[in-house]
Amino acid sequence: MGCGASIYAVGKRKKKTNIPEVVVYVPSMRIPAQSDLQRPLRGLIPHDLVDRLGCLRNQIVLVAEDTGGSAVAELRRALEEYLPLLIGLTKKEHGLEDLVEFKWKNLEDGRLENSVANSWFELLSVIHMLAMLHLSEANSLMIPKDHSGSGIRVVSSDCKRDSVDLLLKASGCLVFCVHEIMAHLPPDIKKKFSRDFQDGALEAISIQALGQGTEIQLGLAVESQKASLSVKRRLACEQLIYFGQAYHFLSESGMSNMHGKKHLCFIKWKFLEAKAAAYYYHGLILDKGTEPACHVTAVCCFLAADGLLSESKKACFTFCLTAPVTRSPPLWGAMKHLTQKIPEVAARKSQMYGYLLEEEKALQALPDLPDFQLSLAPDDYILPEIDSAWDRSKWEIQSQPLKEHLEDSEDEAETE
């Protein structure tokens, strides 16, 4: 399930191969693995509180394993119900931060990724999973099912706007992980994390989500008769900046595993598409000038856009074939329009102003794209209030001396 949640079966053999289709890239998801909360917390907090923590965590495990992570709404509800209880374990006054060893595994292959005795790590993992669920839902909304059998799939404007909202939520969750949770984790624990769970990789996914939100907005602008060329150029340039930043963070994080390579291929593909769109719209604006130099520079932009479009198609092909194999969706958004428009305009304008290109060879330089302040920002993620079950004044704990607590733990360990 490393990339997206919408699956289409292909092939005619008995055993069909499911190849996921990707609009919004979803990194490989982590889910909780079975962990023992009862033994380390027994006698330290009320029994019913321990039971609730264990039951809610087990519910997340079961739903994720049974549905392969596709039950997004149910998983999100379970995580949001678990969070207020989990927050209590991170409070210093309770002294429970390092008692429970929390285990998380990769959803796709079941491989255990981390086993860490730190409740801040558990909080980090839960909010990271929320972010991945937001991305997965955004991807599903952008891949409609064709129930008519016509082969024509239309994504409604409402679905596109909902997808943008989900992308901003995902970005906000990841920003919270990097800036609010990582600071509570000791360096020796963070060193044990895989590279795709380090600060740089999380930053990259957060920025990529903003880039994809801008990509959807550009598609909406292209479909709107009210959107000006300046607005379209601005959105394309912003999209280019986001994907450029995401590529920088991800490549700096040293991602070399299977999903890391595929993730870099995806961002490169989207970066090239955005750059082609930015130069195309910049060329259209320059071409409105009256000086010969304006037309020459515009043609340079159109030709650059045409070359970048060809590169982006190759990058898309490379992304799809890089393991795990995925499918790109039918053309959508701005690229549905630009894939045809860019070659047409480049050919027509270079022919129209061919004589100027010969006369003004000194002016044949690709101009810099304008720099814009970025419009989209992550939604602020706010932790829920701590559950009232952590109110010590209401606790009734059957007292158990620490020595007995430790002896019980040793006895149980011997019987395993």
Written as one string, the DSSP assignment of 241-276 is HHHHHHHHHHHHTT--SHHHHHHHHHHHHHHHHHHH
Q: Is the pLDDT of residue 149 over 60?
A: no
Lowest mean pLDDT among 53-57, 127-131, 396-400: 396-400
Classify 402 as helix, strand or coil. helix
pLDDT tens-digit series, residues 340-369: 999 999 999 988 887 776 666 545 678 999
Band (68; pLDDT cuts 50, 70, 90)? confident
Return phi, psi of residue 17, to 5°.
-100, 125
Q: List beta partners, residue 21.
A: 327
Return the higher-pLDDT residue of 160 and 258.
160
State the Cα–Cα distance between residues 99 and 387, nearest whole angstrom. 19
pTM: 0.88
Q: Is the pLDDT of residue 414 over 70?
A: no
Q: How many residues does the chain have?
A: 416
Mean pLDDT for 77-102 is 94
Question: Residue 6: its pLDDT value, please?
Answer: 41
Mean pLDDT for 6-25 is 62
Question: Residue 409: its pLDDT value, please?
Answer: 52
Mean pLDDT for 253-263 is 77
Give the highest mean pLDDT range of 1-10, 255-264, 406-415. Answer: 255-264
Question: Residue 257: its pLDDT value, please?
Answer: 64
- Tokens 């079975």 correspond to what residue? 34
Question: Residue 384: its pLDDT value, please?
Answer: 95
Mean pLDDT for 226-254 is 94
State the Cα–Cα distance between residues 281 and 236, nearest whole angstrom. 8
Q: Is the pLDDT of residue 169 over 90?
A: yes
Question: Residue 182: its pLDDT value, please?
Answer: 94
- 239, burial (CB in 10 Å: exposed 0-12, middle 13-18, buried 19+): buried
Which residues, at least 6 apart from 269, have a Cβ–Cβ distance to it below 8 Å? 312, 315, 316, 318, 319
What tokens does 25 get? 């890239």
Question: Residue 346: its pLDDT value, please?
Answer: 94
Q: Is the pLDDT of residue 175 over 50?
A: yes
Which H, E and C letters describe 162-204, residue by residue?
Answer: HHHHHHHHHHHHHHHHHHHHHHHCCHHHHCCCCHHHCHHHHHH
Question: Residue 403: its pLDDT value, please?
Answer: 47
Q: Is the pLDDT of residue 410 over 70?
A: no
Mean pLDDT for 97-123 is 90
Mean pLDDT for 306-312 is 97
Q: List beta partners, residue 112.
A: 105
Q: Is the pLDDT of residue 14 over 50?
A: no
Q: Is the pLDDT of residue 374 over 80?
A: yes
Mean pLDDT for 389-409 is 63
Return phi, psi of residue 31, to 5°.
-130, 160
Return the higher-pLDDT residue of 303 and 109.
303
Mean pLDDT for 76-105 is 94
Q: Is the pLDDT of residue 138 over 90?
A: yes
State the Cα–Cα distance between residues 97 and 95, nearest whole angstrom. 6
- Contact between 192 and 167 (Cβ < 8 Å): no
Question: Residue 52: its pLDDT value, please?
Answer: 95
pLDDT tens-digit series, residues 197-237: 888 999 999 999 999 999 999 999 999 999 999 999 999 99
DSSP string, 5-61: S-EEEE-SSSSPEEEEB-SS--PPPEEE-----HHHHBTTB-HHHHHHHHHHHHHHH
Mean pLDDT for 371-383 is 95
Helix crossing, 258-286 with 333-352: angle to 10°?
A: 50
Share of the chain above pLDDT 70, in %: 87
Question: Residue 111: its pLDDT value, please?
Answer: 82
Mean pLDDT for 276-282 is 98
Return the higher-pLDDT residue of 69 and 262.
262
> What do you get for the CA distance between the two ends of the chain, in Å?
34
Return phi, psi of residue 16, to 5°.
-80, 150
Question: Residue 260: its pLDDT value, please?
Answer: 84
Question: Residue 159: its pLDDT value, please?
Answer: 94
Q: What is the mean pLDDT of the chain?
A: 87
- Contact between 222 and 333 (Cβ < 8 Å): yes
Question: Residue 17: its pLDDT value, please?
Answer: 64
Q: Which helix (H) or strand (E) holds 152?
A: none
Question: Residue 5: its pLDDT value, please?
Answer: 41
Nearest to 133 by CA among 210, 26, 209, 214: 26
